[in-house]
Structure 1
């Protein structure tokens, strides 16, 4: 019985240790990346078609970025961080890229096509933040 408990403890310790190492190595990989956040503020009367955004718009823009794109994420706003306060953003799309210059070079000639696609999924003017991943 004692050997089983020790074996189980060692197994769980190894699992948690491996999980922690994986999590830390992921942070190292992201450090230094450029993060382009496209945020769609919530307001009465505004609409957002998440299915279109997920299946058409974001893949289209991701395709323009080529090998500079590391990954992209799509977030659906659920609630404010303060109870009983309005939702701050309906959705946020994020591109993680290696180079800001390469991102800007790829997007510039496609800007009109990207903006022309907005009415297909929203009537919200997005707020865009470009930042560098520190950790």
Structure 2
């Protein structure tokens, strides 16, 4: 299984509408990716590792797939629509990482 993590860095200028992300954007993602996407998860950054330190990421979204090929096949046809929705909830350019999930 693989995990696609979309991470939104926290900066002094960053804005992020978590309600829109949760209720609208991730619903769009789940709908477009269909059964290829096994599950999703959302994280909202609270703090960094040191006392009083802010979070590195304002939010993160995670999507799980059986393989990278499954992700690419499901995401490719909808990439423009999904990526085009980003300005509706944030002014941050996300970072993406694909990881192998080891259980």
TM-score of Structure 1 vs Structure 2, range by shorter chain: over 0.9
TM normalised by structure 1 equals 0.73
What do you get for the CA RMSD once the two structures are aligned? Answer: 1.0
Task: Flag the structure with more relative contact order, 1 or 2, with Cα contacts below 8 A and sequence separation at least 6.
Answer: 2
Gaps of 5+ in 1: 1-32
**Map of 1:42 onto structure 2:** 10
Moved over 3 A (4+): none
Higher strand share: 2
Q: Secondary structure at the match of 2:14?
A: coil
Deviation at 1:46, TM superposition (A): 0.8
Q: Secondary structure at the match of 1:43?
A: coil
**Map of 1:70 onto structure 2:** 38
Work out which of the two has the higher radius of gyration on C-alpha atoms and give 1 or 2: 1
Higher helix share: 1
Gaps of 5+ in 2: none
- Count of paired positions: 103
